[in-house]
Amino acid sequence: MNTDKSRRSFFATLALGVSASAFPMMVKEFNEMENIPELKDIDVTEADAWFINNIKGSHRIAYDGSTPHNGLPIIWNWAFYKSNNQTGSPDSDITAMTVLRHTAIAYAFNSDIWNKYPIGKVFGINDNSTGKPSLRNTVYEPQEGDFPPLGIDGIKRMQERGALFCVCNLAISVYSGVIANQMQLDPKKVQEEMIAGVLPGIQLVPSGVWALGRAQENGCGYIFAGN
């Protein structure tokens, strides 16, 4: 048994919270991953301040968006605002935060990144209009057919209403390396481009689990953004 290889694979698996077998097209790339990337290129003080300065109101929740779940990490954010509005609370008294981590980090990138790298294919997100892996972000400014016909707002509109979104730097570091290895590109360059391609207003945080902890420390409840 190759101990070094097993150790690298273990650390990559630990970082993502999923086994490489969940991505059969990338088993080789996962096995070739190095140790968990070191935290760098991120201002932790700025990230901490983002929580303190932006969480507001009486009704506070943090959604754990660990996988795309057909848009549920964004849909439940909208639903929290919708139901609180219907029970008498204005947007100004509400904060719903979605933490995009693990494979849900795909929703944090602009469509240029989706088009340049196989984001839809890697993260299993299809475009409902084509039935094929999406080449665009389907939840930022959703088009007809992207969400159920319920008047659901996408990320951009929810941000305008005061909703918060952040994305896991650790997962970006891991997945950018995997994508770079598969496409035979420079991992550092892919990582830099993916970080530069994070949508406006989405905060880069050290990790998704770090962000979920900070959200709760700042008065947010926790809900898993799954089914």
C-alpha–C-alpha distance, residues 29 and 136, integer Å:
24
DSSP-based three-state secondary structure for 83: helix
pLDDT for 190 = 96
For residue 39, the one-letter residue type is: L
Q: Where in the chain is the domain with CATH 3.40.1260.10?
A: 58-224
pLDDT one digit per residue (tens) for the chain, 227 residues? 455 555 455 545 555 555 444 454 455 555 555 555 555 667 889 999 999 999 999 999 999 999 999 999 999 999 999 999 999 999 999 999 999 999 999 999 999 999 999 999 999 999 999 999 999 999 999 999 999 988 999 999 999 999 999 999 999 999 999 899 889 999 999 999 999 999 999 999 999 999 999 999 999 999 999 76
pLDDT tens for residues 88-138? Answer: 999 999 999 999 999 999 999 999 999 999 999 999 999 999 999 999 999
pLDDT for 19 = 46
pLDDT for 134 = 98
C-alpha–C-alpha distance, residues 97 and 24, integer Å:
32
For the entire predicted model, the pTM comes to 0.87
pLDDT for 23 = 53
- For every residue of 108-144, which 3-state class applies, written as one string? HECHHHHHHCCHHHHHCCEECCCCEECCCCCCCCCCC
CATH fold, domain 58-224, is Hypothetical Protein Ychn; Chain: A, (3.40.1260)
Beta strand pairing status for 221-224 and 132-133?
unpaired
Q: Residue 62, Cβ neighbours under 10 Å: how many?
A: 28
